[in-house]
Chains A and B, each alone.
Chain A
């Protein structure tokens, strides 16, 4: 299958995403410049991490107006898979493809560290290769990753099983200490109502080889590949 990796000015996870889906998972992958509107026949769109437009305003607030985003919205409306990682998650929220916002981390510091994600829903196109409740070791790297939304939105996410991942302990316990940024309900990743758009703060593309400390990110790519 073919992954399309969107490149905004200021994106930096594009190359790592390419490496993990192409070099490691053996799939076709192309970069899509933010000014393009043609998604080049891709089967899945990745909005990678980075600092689009420097994120000087609100994270993702300018990137959402890039020409490519209209095409991404159309693509998602057709039920095709879109995954936003870190800055990509922020862009999806700004573009109203996912509910809620990513606020500054509670401790007001950037955080780069391993996190342990408990798979809360393994019936999504992004997690179908995960065992129920499987814990994935995947790192975060962000300053604005504290998921926040109104009570009704959170309730909807909880009730519909749209929380894909929560920050937990290596054993899968959801604790306050395991929450690296103060996200509501330890939320690390959510899906949209249709279930074909995933936003997550941790970087699965970094967990792609044993030598880098984990291969758990590949399970997400393999799930997508299995579903297409």
Chain B
């Protein structure tokens, strides 16, 4: 009997897709098969709306070992036989419905992606977006999300080293919760997520299977936000203690040689874990759901196959090693059950005891249709990109200090200490630069002289007004932050948060953002090694700002030569590196939004200037010339200078010699700039380097004292700046 409209709606498959399944199978699918197709062909698992676009990303480079889609996360080679694996993933929809558990299980899922590969997870980062804090519901969401990240991550003993939080009206009904995990290990310990070798055993380890999280992939992640208020049961509940045991047990297991593959049960649970592993191993599977341990009675095979109960792993055990594997898990107090075996017929055979409840080709199941939409430039972009500065009143010199304090206290600029001090950012004894001290986290690599940096970035406002430039800037700013620490950018992961992809204007935003990010990745030599797509982020037909989030890893050769953002001492000379640009740099700026209530006007960026800036920063820090370096971004030059004062606890005195608009000079957000400080004796060398690299260099003043002085504009105690900066949220 053909599936009913209601059935198809429940699993978010179209009638056309259903007909395709029928033609592939040559018959109507069973209930279990339909559920499996629904999950695997969801946007979350199958990327059917985004796959064609994702192909545009550059994915290879000399450091890349594992590319996107090949395994659970991308992997880069950092030399000396060591590798880093990292990936970012969204948990936006669950976090809206149940913020604490939604965010907690987001962390749990991304951590499993890393240790599944045999890598020890050692760093977490997160990128969050909320509506304004003036709304109590937004405060509730943020409190829950931060609590969930802290509650889960802290329990695991993984350092949460960096992150970013932005606020805008557009995220009020659609918060974004993107979690990143990074793991490190030796190249020989890398474990694949594949099922191969007929007769090998399929083992399910960890938590028992319950009804929680049914339809998480097909339901939540494929619907807009207002459709899902009734779907609370689709959110899973996390158990970080179980996860911690799984980390230790699985890492021990991956060093034994007793298994051929390891895969976590994430979205679409056992279905995706088993089918994806079988597909990668070009194998079939024979699984008996009656052997899956349950948390509750009366679960149907359909529910067992689609449950998204957390903290479960599928292990493909070499035949004959099952007792050893079981005793290893026993020692960690973890359940393990053999639920089936690998076959060589390429079929997914699912049984409930004797009865076969699904029998379909693995290749059919795991290859959803790919949709190509025609992106169409929305007509409203023309107006949005126009910025008539005659209508924007410049600030008076006497108001410069007041405006600066206002910007420092703006939620999008202020210190996020209130949040990050709730995360354990030091466990592991690797954290060299802590949250708030630099533009990126710096973690040393034990037993070497090297270190790596981690940062997440993404400016939805820029992308909304100009998706192409916004995409370029997302990557460029992450790289700039990386370079400000003295690190060479190596590779990125990204989380693409967009609205409903079936709308042409949203498709246009995706298309342009991806185009821009790809351009920047090519120029800055930072291939994309992993990522995730979150679509349908909209409420009542209004999409969020297109918000691609970039997570970047960089490498520092000598840990002694790294830099932080705060000024360091008396009498250091402070410079601006990079071109201050013209009045158009006020476009889409925080100043324009905060002071004038306008979001319009496009930012622009020259990738060659950007690359030159990175090169001089990395070289100058590598030679030990710079005493501080801080990316000039949200809030412009004045905010950057003030932040370097606050972070360093030291004053600044300078003359900006401004000729044009005051607000442009102080708060314009021209790209490709950094504020650096340097000992007076090294100035000459920096000037020579700037000339050589073709990077404009402007002397701004000197650091020292306890006041922040911009001659003729502002004279404030650094303490007052700090008070404002720490008061924002």
Contacts and interface: CB of A to CB of B under 8 A. Distances in A.
A141 B333 contact: no
A13 B244 CA distance: 13
A10 B429 contact: no
A12 B245 CA distance: 11
Contact of A208 (B428, B429, B434): B429
Contact of B426 (A51, A54, A139): A139
Interface stretch (A76-84, A96-104, A105-113): A105-113
B426 A206 contact: yes
A110 B423 contact: yes
A43 interface: no
Contacts of B241: 9-10, 51, 53-56
B240 interface: yes
B716 interface: no
B430 to A, nearest CB: 8
A209 B447 CA distance: 13
A20 B426 contact: no
A10 B422 contact: no
A110 B239 contact: no
Contacts of A211: 432, 444, 559
In this complex, which of B240, B241, B426 has the most chain A Cβ atoms within 10 angstroms of its Cβ?
Answer: B426
B428 A16 contact: yes
B424 A110 contact: yes
A9 B423 contact: no
A10 B427 contact: no
B150 interface: yes
Contacts of B154: 51, 110, 112, 141, 143
A206 B429 contact: yes
A207 B721 CA distance: 30
B174 to A, nearest CB: 26
Interface in A122-178: 139, 141, 143
A120 interface: no
Q: Which of A19, A110, A213 has the most CB of B within 10 A?
A: A110
A110 B150 contact: yes
A54 B422 contact: no
Contact of B427 (A13, A20, A110, A113): A13
A111 B422 contact: yes
* A contact residues, range: 20 to 34
B423 A10 contact: no
B245 A9 contact: yes
B157 interface: yes
Contacts of A141: 154, 424, 426-427
Interface in A43-98: 50-51, 53-56
A165 to B, nearest CB: 18
A202 to B, nearest CB: 11
Given A51-B241, A54-B240, A112 B444 contact: no
B114 to A, nearest CB: 16
A5 to B, nearest CB: 14
Nearest to A113: B421
A27 B495 CA distance: 45
Given A10-B241, A112-B422, A212 B431 contact: yes
A216 interface: no
A87 to B, nearest CB: 11
A144 B424 CA distance: 14
Interface residues of B, number: 29
B421 to A, nearest CB: 5
A177 to B, nearest CB: 14
A188 to B, nearest CB: 17
Interface string B129-164: 000000000000000000000110011110000000
Contacts of A55: 155, 241
B559 A12 contact: no
A134 B135 CA distance: 47
B518 to A, nearest CB: 36
Contact of A112 (B332, B423, B429): B423
Nearest to A19: B429
A53 B426 CA distance: 21
Contacts of B239: 54
Contacts of A206: 426-427, 429
B426 A112 contact: yes
A20 B427 CA distance: 12
A204 B427 CA distance: 12
Nearest to B153: A110
Interface in B416-441: 421-429, 431-432, 434
A10 B151 CA distance: 13
Interface string A184-228: 000000000000000000010110110111000000000000000
A143 B422 CA distance: 9
Given A53-B241, A109-B422, A141-B154, A20 B429 contact: yes
B156 A12 contact: yes
Contacts of B333: 9
Given A54-B241, A211-B444, A112 B157 contact: no
A112 B422 CA distance: 6
A110 B434 CA distance: 17
Interface in B241-270: 241-242, 244-245
Contacts of B421: 109, 111-113
Interface of B: 150-151, 154-157, 239-242, 244-245, 332-333, 421-429, 431-432, 434, 444, 446, 559
19 contacts: A10-B244, A12-B244, A13-B427, A15-B428, A50-B157, A54-B242, A56-B241, A109-B150, A110-B150, A112-B421, A112-B423, A112-B426, A113-B421, A139-B426, A205-B429, A208-B429, A209-B429, A211-B444, A212-B429
Interface of A: 9-10, 12-13, 15-16, 19-20, 50-51, 53-56, 109-113, 139, 141, 143, 203, 205-206, 208-209, 211-213
Given A19-B429, A111-B422, A112-B154, 12 more contacts: A12-B156, A51-B154, A53-B241, A54-B244, A55-B155, A110-B151, A110-B154, A112-B422, A141-B154, A209-B429, A211-B559, A212-B429
9 smallest CB-CB distances across A and B, nearest first, come from A12-B157, A54-B241, A51-B155, A141-B424, A110-B422, A112-B424, A16-B429, A110-B150, A206-B426
